[in-house]
Amino acid sequence: MQPIETERLVIRTLGLDDWPEVFAYAADPEVMKFIPEKPYTPEATMAFAADNPVVDGLPSKFAVTLKPDGRLIGTLTLHLINSRFRCREIGWVFHPAYHGQGYAGEAALALLRHAFAEGNIRRVVATCDPRNTASWRIMEGLGFRREGHFLRDVRLADGGWHDEYFYAILDEEWAARVGGGK
Ligand SMILES: CC(C)(COP(=O)(O)OP(=O)(O)OC[C@H]1O[C@@H](n2cnc3c(N)ncnc32)[C@H](O)[C@@H]1OP(=O)(O)O)[C@@H](O)C(=O)NCCC(=O)NCCS
């Protein structure tokens, strides 16, 4: 995939070489507290960065880098969860030094623009813990609809069972939103 440029960012395919920059934040329990996976070990980070299947020309994982120096500040995922129904799930994890500056929203908007235009996608879903306000605000800002509130269905690193919001957006909703989906 050709890198996608926004005003401040370049979004490109994630690869194994990116693992140390991902590890710099994915090992942080605070960053991972709403994510069902445990904070990453070096081995888990390498496996995450290396496993990046491309389907319909679209990778599953993306590095989000800052324009001036190419520094990796976060990752976006767009996993294929059902090929027959052309459905993917989007996710975002960013380095805490770069939170609260609109980077995740900016990156996700650009990726979805590209993915709906080029990636043979009908529906994109997204989930998060209801306490993760930054995450569901991004979903709503992008036009995702809240389709459900699941009760105590996810086990987090604290060992407890927690609720989950479920959001989705269809290709026609995206097209109506951004004007033709391009
Ligand atoms: C979720 C995450 C990617 C958001 O990244 P970000 O770059 O800080 O997000 P943005 O700056 O684009 O902000 C998104 C929205 O959340 C709001 N927001 C940001 N941080 C917030 C916070 N701590 N509390 C409440 N709202 C917050 C912003 O105001 C913005 O809302 P708006 O568009 O309505 O103004 C980032 O916090 C993160 O990496 N968290 C740890 C990993 C994680 O939980 N990933 C999601 C799993 S579902």
Q: What is the pLDDT of residues 2-31, one digit of tens each?
A: 999 999 999 999 999 999 999 999 999 999
Q: What is the pLDDT of residues 100-158, one digit of tens each?
A: 999 999 999 999 999 999 989 999 999 999 999 999 999 999 999 999 999 999 999 89
Write down the pLDDT at residue 181. Answer: 41
Instruction: Give the closest residue (by CA) to ligand 1 atom 11.
Output: 102
Alpha-carbon gap, residue 89 to 60, rounded angstroms = 9
Q: Is 64 in the pocket of ligand 1 (CB under 6 A)?
A: no
Within a 13 Å sphere around the CA of 30, how many CA atoms are in the beta-carbon half? 6
CATH architecture for the domain at 4-178? 3-Layer(aba) Sandwich (3.40)
Between 38 and 94, residue with greater pLDDT: 94
Q: Is 6 in the pocket of ligand 1 (CB under 6 A)?
A: no
pLDDT band at 182 (very low <50, low <70, confident <90, very high): very low
> CA quadruple 107, 138, 142, 124: dihedral positive or negative?
positive
How many residues does this entry show for the chain? 182
Q: Which of 135, 140, 144 to mutate to test the pocket of ligand 1 (most atoms within 8 A of CB)?
A: 135
Taking the centre of ligand 1 as the mean of its atom positions, its distance from the CA of residue 134, in whole angstroms, is 3
Give the burial string for 45-56 (b: 16+ CB within 10 Å, else e). bbebbeebeebe
Supply the DSSP string of 84-119, one letter for each residue. Answer: TTTEEEEEEEE-GGGTTSSHHHHHHHHHHHHHHHHS
Mean pLDDT of the chain: 96
Q: Is 31 in the pocket of ligand 1 (CB under 6 A)?
A: yes
